[in-house]
Structure 1
Amino acid sequence: MTRRTRPRHPSRGGPRSRSRAERALRGGLAAAFSLVLGGVLLVGPALAHGGSLRSAPARSLSVPLWLFLATGGGVVGASFLLASFVTDRAFIRLVHGWRRVLSLPAADLLVGVGNAVGVLGLLAVIGVGLFGPAAPLSNLGVLVVWVGWWAGYAMTTYLVGNTWPVLNPWRTVARYLPSLDRPYPERFESWPAVVGLLGLVWLEVVSPLADEPRLLAVVVLAYTVVTLSGCVVLGADTWFERVDPVSRVFHYYGAVAPLSHEDGTIRLRIPGTGLDDPDLVATRSEAAFVVALLWVTTYDGLVATPPWRDLATALVGAGAPPVLLYPVALLAGFGLFYGAFVLAIRSGRRRAETYLPASTLARRFAPSLLAIAAGYHVAHYLGYFVELSPTLFGALTSPLSPPSPIAIVLPTWFQGIALGFVILGHLLAIWVAHATSFELFPGRIQAVRSQYALTLVMVFYTMTSLLIVSRPYVAPPFI
């Protein structure tokens, strides 16, 4: 497809004046970035809430909140300016084009082992959940789902590589089922996956899935029935690529990872460079799914903070129905995040003065948000996973009569990792958006202008994430 852009006005001043100004701007931005980065190092630690089993103790932020948020937002803004005026196209191509092919011995054997582990894990979650210990910290099913899978395993999909197509127990079982291969309604795009992701997170928040192993086992069993039925009707490939929200989550997380499966080989790349794939997000619904993935992790942390508790108590006291409080907040927050992204894309299109449609720009820039989602997921779950790993290991050694739960007490400095990963994810998002804009637009100024509004939205996402990880955990009310 030929890219067409409107004519740009000639710059004022000659090449010498522009080069001097650019050198001065680079020096100023480098100094500003150094100061802001130094501020981050001096700000101190923040706490990422442990979701699900809620094991993390409450801690308070030791610096003024306004300074904490301003520092994080400043880092993102300064990094945008630094990346925009210091890098060039040759350097971007060098970074994003770097690949190394890795050999994987006994690949077929590893795939078979992975298939077996996935199926056995599913059976253990259902079986031990139904018939094992009733205490959540003693039940292998609860620990596998929340600690081992949603916290620990999910982190490997963006820190290492996406192995879910191998481990996915439903895909493994679906290979042995007949398929009707009914045509999928194209008008639905991937909206069922968006609805499914929002629905799963709402169910996780409002129901005692982490506290009642029997209920969790029933929900997993119901999910299994729906998934396998969908595979029979539509075919496994269509179901997992268009409908199943879990597979979509790990697929997009895998684009952040350093390992990828390309052309039948395992390849090593610089983390985040897979996000510039023009086919990664193909439709408007997939762009919405990326925003939903970012929002649901934010929402999961938001509803466990004191500000939410106070707001929810006030709303219920004013007559708001408690049963509607959480779904309305979920949908309103998603609408805010998605609306801000859409407005940023439209603003960027106007400023770049391009004929490229807004839908194309949304598809190309949406993957940059996956770096933010991955960074916040680490901040949200890393401490939680480390704390409860001994408990998970104990349950694995004796599923029906596990030893007493043991939790690791994390040192104070460990809290700073949450802040580090949030900032790192946002810096990576800025870089990916920067690289994408230089690929889409022929002119440097045009590429930079296209990112103004999106960078502001990323600053908003950053400050929202930092606000949440800086708050101590409290039990959500009215659920």
Structure 2
Amino acid sequence: MDSHRQGQARVAVAATLLSLATFVGVTAAHSGGLAGSARDPIAIPTWLFLLTGGGVVGISFLLASFVTDRRLIDALHDWRRDVPDPGRVGRSVASLAGVGIVAVTLVVGAIGPTTGVRSLTVLVVWVGWWGGYVASTYLLGNTWPTLNPFRTVAERLPTLGRSYPESVGSWPSVAGLLVLVWVEIATPLADDPRLLVAVLAAYTVTTLGGAVVFGADQWFERVDPLARAFRYYGRLAPLGVDNGRLRLRLPGSALPETTLEGRDDVAFIVTLLFVTTYDGGVATGPWAAGVRAVVEMGVPPLVVYLGTYLAGAGLFYLAFRAAARIGRRRADTYRSATYLARRFAPSLLPIAAGYHLAHNLGSVLVLSPTLAAVAAAPLSPPAMPPQLAGLPAWFGGLELACVLVGHLFAVWVAHATAYDVFPSRLQAVRSQYGVTAVMIGYTMLSLWIVAEPYVAPPFLAT
């Protein structure tokens, strides 16, 4: 990165810090606010449980190393079948439906009930969209380019045609992702439909304004964090568009051939992985105890949460960069560590997807019937059933399975990527040492978060 681009990146980081600092004094976790999540502690010692999970990922790497037949790997990842296209009419209906859903969500949130899961707006955003729809982008396929209501409107607005500053690359999307998730964590969006409407309206104005200035293509390709997250998640899904045609493929088969453009794209994927982890980590007992201890020493809660948030994002990125450097040294290759980071970063997407599913699956399954009931009477919803106060105990095992499957999937994607990059089998195996070590560490961290009983983050807004 040249000095000019570094300067632009610093501007983006400074803007992010300023934006994050405007949300002060409280923290909230939407999953707890929605469903009052509660998990039973695991029956075996935590250290044994975590070592077992990390060991499973390590063993899966060893087993994958025995798959050295390039023709088999290529056959698995090149398999495709054409799927009927929904056609222009179907896409138009979906686009209009997306605009209609956002409009209804805004109106009902502004004039409807103001209590948590009694609000259609809260349920649509956190259950229907953040929980259910986001999962569909990696479990089925990325329909956001068609459904995206903001782009549908933006493409019908005049544009100023300003040139997008190439020097800043996609760093604004990294900053935007950090800001969006921070707003979700630091404000009681799950309990305050009016606040949620205000945030959704602000996002709409910002997005449409950016698209008018730079054009819809540039904005949603380089800046908008939601469009970029769904585009990457779509590479993991079994349905995708190849050469303009809708095709069925094996899940994740598009990831090994994905080469990111630069460090900004690597940072975006790593940040996507981090923010979901942080969102779950703040709802654990050790976190709550640690925050209280630090605050009792005189440190403001905002400094604790924001400081660990930004420091954690930076540490995740530096850890992955270090993994790429280890892979380069062990493979003894002329390829740069930056190039290896650009190739191996997509292998982190199954981990991010697995943890997202584990973090939100319980709320989606429990609250989906409530969403349907409230949608039938959005302005006068029925009373919420008392059983929604807690999630069924068996969700805990399902969440752990989602985490492990995501990590095992990531190991295979990294293996296939290595064989796509290196002609030597020994180089291909050795190049994975760094990223596998990171995956093992992250497996143990994410399993610990999922296994910990839910504890409301301290200093919540009331």
User: What's the TM-score once normalised by structure 1's chain length?
Assistant: 0.87
CA contact (8 A) 2:39 2:451 kept: no
Question: Which secondary structure state, in structure 2, belongs to the residue aligned with residue 356 of structure 1?
Answer: coil
Partner Cα distance (2:190, 2:77) in 1? 41
Aligned-pair distance for 1:315?
0.5
CA contact (8 A) 1:51 1:301 kept: no
Question: Which secondary structure state, in structure 1, belongs to the residue aligned with residue 241 of structure 2?
Answer: strand
Structure number with larger C-alpha Rg: 1
Partner Cα distance (1:327, 1:117) in 2? 37
1:67 pairs, out of 42, 48, 52, with: 48
Which residue of structure 1 aligns with residue 297 of structure 2? 318
Which residue of structure 2 aligns with residue 431 of structure 1? 412
Residues 1:448 and 2:429 aligned together: yes
Partner Cα distance (1:67, 1:166) in 2? 46
Unpaired runs of 5+ in structure 2? 1-29
Partner Cα distance (1:125, 1:51) in 2? 21
Question: Which secondary structure state, in structure 1, belongs to the residue aligned with residue 247 of structure 2?
Answer: strand
Question: Aligned AA for 1:441?
Answer: F
Question: Which secondary structure state, in structure 1, belongs to the residue aligned with residue 37 of structure 2?
Answer: coil
Which residue of structure 2 aligns with residue 201 of structure 1? 181
Question: Aligned AA for 2:153?
Answer: V
1:191 pairs, out of 171, 188, 200, with: 171
Aligned length, in residue pairs? 430
Partner Cα distance (1:215, 1:132) in 2? 13
Which residue of structure 1 aligns with residue 21 of structure 2? none
Question: Which secondary structure state, in structure 2, belongs to the residue aligned with residue 401 of structure 1?
Answer: coil
Which residue of structure 1 aligns with residue 316 of structure 2? 337
CA contact (8 A) 2:238 2:250 kept: yes
Question: Which secondary structure state, in structure 1, belongs to the residue aligned with residue 255 of structure 2?
Answer: helix
Which residue of structure 1 aligns with residue 63 of structure 2? 82
Which residue of structure 1 aligns with residue 133 of structure 2? 153
Aligned-pair distance for 1:86?
3.3
Question: Aligned AA for 2:129?
Answer: W
Question: Which secondary structure state, in structure 2, belongs to the residue aligned with residue 247 of structure 1?
Answer: helix
Question: Aligned AA for 1:472?
Answer: P
1:372-419 Cα distance to aligned partner (Å, 9 max, x none): 000111111111100111111111111111112245675533321111
Which residue of structure 2 aligns with residue 32 of structure 1? none
Partner Cα distance (2:68, 2:448) in 1? 31
Alignment of 1:40-439 (within 5 A): 50=31, 53-104=34-85, 106-279=86-259, 281-406=260-385, 411-439=392-420
Question: Aligned AA for 2:448?
Answer: L
Aligned-pair distance for 1:258?
0.3
Partner Cα distance (1:405, 1:251) in 2? 35
Structure 1 stretch 268-277 or stretch 298-307: which is displaced more?
268-277
Question: Aligned AA for 2:42?
Answer: L
Partner Cα distance (2:250, 2:326) in 1? 30
Aligned-pair distance for 1:126?
1.1
Question: Which secondary structure state, in structure 1, belongs to the residue aligned with residue 66 of structure 2?
Answer: helix
CA contact (8 A) 2:396 2:450 kept: no
Aligned-pair distance for 1:55?
2.8
Question: Aligned AA for 1:452?
Answer: Y
Aligned-pair distance for 1:421?
1.1
Aligned-residue CA RMSD (Å) = 1.5
1:223-243 Cα distance to aligned partner (Å, 9 max, x none): 111100000000001101111
Aligned-pair distance for 1:277?
2.7
Partner Cα distance (1:239, 1:213) in 2? 28
CA contact (8 A) 1:50 1:383 kept: no
Structure 1 stretch 401-410 or stretch 114-123: which is displaced more?
401-410
Question: Which secondary structure state, in structure 2, belongs to the residue aligned with residue 133 of structure 1?
Answer: coil
Partner Cα distance (1:100, 1:240) in 2? 28
User: What's the TM-score once normalised by structure 2's chain length?
Assistant: 0.90
Question: Which secondary structure state, in structure 1, belongs to the residue aligned with residue 457 of structure 2?
Answer: coil
